[in-house]
Amino acid sequence: MSGVLIEVDWPAPANVVAGTTTRNATNDDLPPDLRFLNQVHGAAVVTSAQVREAAAALDADAVTGSEPGDCCAVRTADCLPVLFCSRGGERIGAAHAGWRGLAAGVLENTVAAMSGSAGDLLAWLGPAISQANFEVGEEVRAAFLEHDPAAGRHFDENPRGRWQADLYGLARQRLRACGVEAIYGGGWCTYGDEARFFSYRRAADAGRMVSFVALK
């Protein structure tokens, strides 16, 4: 890891380039001509070609690509960025998975949009808020349990009668359920590591990290 960029530690082929910026990064640390989504905490997925051709940022929370030069990127500051690529480097994707999008199926929709076998995909979980610092209400827990009661193991009740939610654990559960087994990354805390990461919960006017994956 450099001072401004976290390298993605997955066994991707050489034509796939990926990383996540820290709070010390500048635009010079990003791929050129990068265009972003208008992230709305939903589950819609668009293609890199649609992003390039759009007159304005598209309302979506995930993007996929399959052509040389495609770059998929999302911005986060506590929500979970998830990057994807196929083992052969033919397909890439990026998803913004806050709890709302995660519960709505943004990861499942991204996997489906990438076509091919889910078992052929690599997934990488970037910097997000840790369970220790992510307190949520019963409505959040209920949204996940309605989809799969086994999600309850990713929520710990705290002394205030609320819940500490594990975004990393919930994402891994969702990915494995739709056939993605090769899952890397995780283990950071954007809220706790102020020196490296922006955090919306720590400061509502915080900047954003950028997680990207590109095809050479």
With pLDDT > 90 as the criterion, what percentage of the chain qualifies? 98
Residue with tokens 């979970």: 80
**Rounded distance, CA 37 to CA 167, Å?**
21
b/e 174-185 (16+ beta carbons within 10 angstroms → b) = bbeeeebeebeb
Element (H, E) at 209: strand 209-215
The CA distances from residue 33 to 30, 40, 197, 209, 214, in Å, are: 9, 22, 23, 17, 12
Confidence of residue 2 (pLDDT cuts 50, 70, 90): low
- Residue 45's DSSP bridge partners are 62
**Residues 80-97: what's their mean pLDDT?**
98
* Spans of all domains in the chain: 5-215
pLDDT digits over 139-179, tens only? 999 999 999 999 999 999 999 999 999 999 999 999 999 99
**Mean of the per-residue pLDDT values for the chain?**
97
Tell me, rounded to whole angstroms, the distance of Cα 194 from its chain centroid. Answer: 19
Q: Please determine, for residue 1, whether its predicted confidence score (pLDDT) is greater than 70.
A: no
Model pTM score: 0.97
Q: What is the DSSP letter of 131?
A: G
pLDDT digits over 45-81, tens only? 999 999 999 999 999 999 999 999 999 999 999 999 9
pLDDT digits over 117-127, tens only? 999 999 999 99
pLDDT digits over 125-142, tens only? 999 999 999 999 999 999
5-215 topology per CATH: CNF1/YfiH-like putative cysteine hydrolases (3.60.140)
pLDDT reported for residue 3: 74
Angle formed by the axes of helices 106-113 and 167-177, nearest 10°: 40
Tallying the residues shown for the chain, one arrives at 216
- Residue 81's DSSP bridge partners are 96
Non-local (6+) Cβ contacts of 203 within 8 A are none
Longest dimension (CA), the chain: 51
Q: How many CA atoms lie within 13 A of 5 on its CB side?
A: 15
